[in-house]
Structure 1
Amino acid sequence: MATTEFGQTVRRWRDRVSPEAAGLPAGGQRRAAGLRREELALLAGISVDYVTRLEQGRASHPSEQVVEALGRALRLTSREREHLFHVAGLVPPGQGTVPAYITPSVQRMLDRLTGAAVMVSDATWTVLLANPLYTALMGEPRGKERNAVWRTFLGSGGNRVRHSPQSQRALEIAQVSGLRATANRYPSDQRLHRLISELRANSTRFAELWDSGVMGHFETAQKTIDHPQVGVVTLDCDLLSVAGSDLRIMVYTAEPGTDDAERLALIGVLGTQSLVGEAHP
């Protein structure tokens, strides 16, 4: 019963969100004003098949992460988000756990950062949202690689950002230090504890840094990215925080009128063409 109601709720709310409101191209003629399943799947970081099965009631017991991602993609208010958790048969995350809710006001601010590649993560450095330009620039992380710390220490090595030995070490120290601080703020978050345990068990480097108590922090810097279609692009990378929500917003921009600005714009065009080409009514 709950699963059927969950699917119906997702479908109803999907129909009310326009692609423009979600920061996506309209993509020509559409049967309805709302998001297509392909677009909702893209925004939530899950497969189109899974969205279909959820809406049709053929998939049961969506995880907390999936419900949270769908809530963000559908631009839900805090009360609507709570309702979505309840119809999924879940209890909304409460105090003591890492916040993963992006308020509509923050979402509107992100939508207005046109021309910038923007990614939002929670305090564990797990990607919550990435705009189409960021995805076109960096690729789309899936599964465990949505967490930047896991990707650094256990990932497949597909990171497009260039690193020297010095910058790689600084990144590792900053990530471990930040994750330790997050664990201190949210001692009852079981997902966070599982992430740390997996990293310590499977990465000697992570365990060494974690046990050493080393401290570091992220600094604003330029990043050089090797893009598979456009080539090398160097961008300014700024890290912003949202007071009261413990979210991190990473913004990549280029100085107007430069070759890098042209390359970033081209990446955006290529990414948009890919999205439109993959979407179906």
Structure 2
Amino acid sequence: MDIDDTSLGATLRTWRGRVTPAAAGLPDGRARRATGLRREDLAELSDISVDYVVRLEQGRATTPSAQVVAALARALQLSDAERDHLYRLAHVVPPGDTEIDDRLPVGLQRLVGRMGDTTAAAVFAADWQLIWWNRGWVALLGDPADREPHRRNFARDTFPVDDTGPYLSHWPVTSLAQQTVELAVVSDLRRATGLYPASARLRRLVGDLTAGNARFAELWATAAIGTHPEDRKVVEHPSAGPITVDCDVMLAGQTEQKVVVLSADEGSDDEARLRRALGAG
């Protein structure tokens, strides 16, 4: 049977092959055709059956329990990053993911830091909390630093719970059906609860929205699912006037952080107005 070399089974085989019996504390006097652990060794160290190891490696079993994954990770002497990857391959939430990660990985910092001067960019955490923005975002939409931290949240903006107005300054109304955005945001929060099941911040957000916004409560109760399509928005800038921008939402890694980039068609009047708004031309 051919197995994708990034699958759970193939990954287990690869990691099993790199652990020596001596490193695992096993006697090395038995005849071996390979330097790594045998399936029997991994089964013994993990306290599972050899048949189950075979089925995992052959792709006939793909959803081991969290307890089995933990035992395999210990037996294979995985690093924290490797352990978490194994959990996710097994569709199990990794241990230690208790609070939403607001830290930008170094690679993502480089990426967003190198964006040109004709884009407005921001990064949102898994719960749509705004955690980073560039100068273009400030010039186009206003400075989020002027708002209380808990109000810099697009989920709260999509499902307001009071009459204090937008949480994100000048955030443009979507040109797509509002329901599309609502479904996508609810889906994002539901995925986040799977990734961060013990997050107090996320529980508080979902609780606030469920209690304070009937539309959110309705969608949350029905387990509604949606995605973020490509979108265009019109930003009413105080000095440059109306600017039609493309809004692209990209997921960044396994933390469910979202990079939002607003840009205009190259060579268009909107790009010229955007450059004026951003002070780039």
Q: Normalised by the size of structure 2, how large is the TM-score?
A: 0.59
1:196 Cα deviation from its structure 2 partner: 0.7
What residue in structure 1 maps to residue 216 of structure 2? 206
What residue in structure 1 maps to residue 190 of structure 2? 180
Aligned residues: 177
Contact conserved, 1:254 with 1:261, CA < 8 A, in 2?
Answer: yes
1:159 Cα deviation from its structure 2 partner: 4.3
Question: What whole-Å deviation, never above 9, does each CA across 1:191-231 have from its counterpart, x for those lacking one?
Answer: 10011111111111111111122111111122222222222
Q: Distance in 1 between matches of 2:233 and 2:267?
A: 18
Do structure 1's residue 149 and structure 2's residue 149 form an aligned pair?
no
Q: Distance in 2 between matches of 1:217 and 1:169?
A: 11
Return the match for 1:122 from 125, 138, 145: 125
Question: What whole-Å deviation, never above 9, does each CA across 1:21-75 have from its counterpart, x for those lacking one?
Answer: xxxxxxxxxxxxxxxxxxxxxxxxxxxxxxxxxxxxxxxxxxxxxxxxxxxxxxx
Return the match for 1:162 from 173, 177, 182: 173
Which amino acid letter does the alignment assign opposite residue 126 of structure 1? Q
* SS of structure 1 residue aligned to 2:177: helix
1:134 Cα deviation from its structure 2 partner: 1.0
Deviates more, 1:252-261 or 1:138-147: 138-147
Q: Distance in 2 between matches of 1:162 and 1:225?
A: 8
Q: Distance in 2 between matches of 1:117 and 1:163?
A: 16
1:100 Cα deviation from its structure 2 partner: 1.2
What residue in structure 1 maps to residue 43 of structure 2? none
Q: Distance in 1 between matches of 2:133 and 2:100?
A: 19
- Which is richer in helix? 1
What residue in structure 1 maps to residue 34 of structure 2? none
What residue in structure 1 maps to residue 98 of structure 2? 96
Contact conserved, 1:160 with 1:226, CA < 8 A, in 2?
Answer: no
Contact conserved, 1:239 with 1:251, CA < 8 A, in 2?
Answer: yes
Q: Distance in 2 between matches of 1:160 and 1:220?
A: 17
Identity of aligned residues (%): 32
Structure of higher RCO (CA pairs closer than 8 Å, 6+ residues apart):
1
- Structure 1 stretches of 4+ with a deviation exceeding 3 A read 157-160
What residue in structure 1 maps to residue 6 of structure 2? none
RMSD: 2.0
| 1:226-265 pair list within 5 angstroms | 226-265=236-275
Question: What whole-Å deviation, never above 9, does each CA across 1:209-264 have from its counterpart, x for those lacking one?
Answer: 11122111111122222222222111111112222332110111112211111111
Q: Distance in 1 between matches of 2:231 and 2:272?
A: 20
* Structure 2, unpaired ranges of 5+: 1-95
**Cα distance change of structure 1 residues 195 and 151 upon mapping to structure 2, 3 Å threshold:** same
Question: What whole-Å deviation, never above 9, does each CA across 1:156-185 have from its counterpart, x for those lacking one?
Answer: 146441345x62121111111211111122
| 1:1-281 pair list within 5 angstroms | 95-114=97-116, 115-141=118-144, 142-143=147-148, 144-154=150-160, 156-157=165-166, 159-163=170-174, 167-269=177-279
Contact conserved, 1:239 with 1:250, CA < 8 A, in 2?
Answer: yes
Contact conserved, 1:162 with 1:224, CA < 8 A, in 2?
Answer: yes
Say which one has the larger Rg: 2
Q: Distance in 2 between matches of 1:243 and 1:163?
A: 25
Contact conserved, 2:234 with 2:245, CA < 8 A, in 1?
Answer: yes
Deviates more, 1:151-160 or 1:180-189: 151-160
**Cα distance change of structure 1 residues 251 and 206 upon mapping to structure 2, 3 Å threshold:** same
Q: Distance in 2 between matches of 1:212 and 1:177?
A: 11
What residue in structure 2 maps to residue 91 of structure 1? none
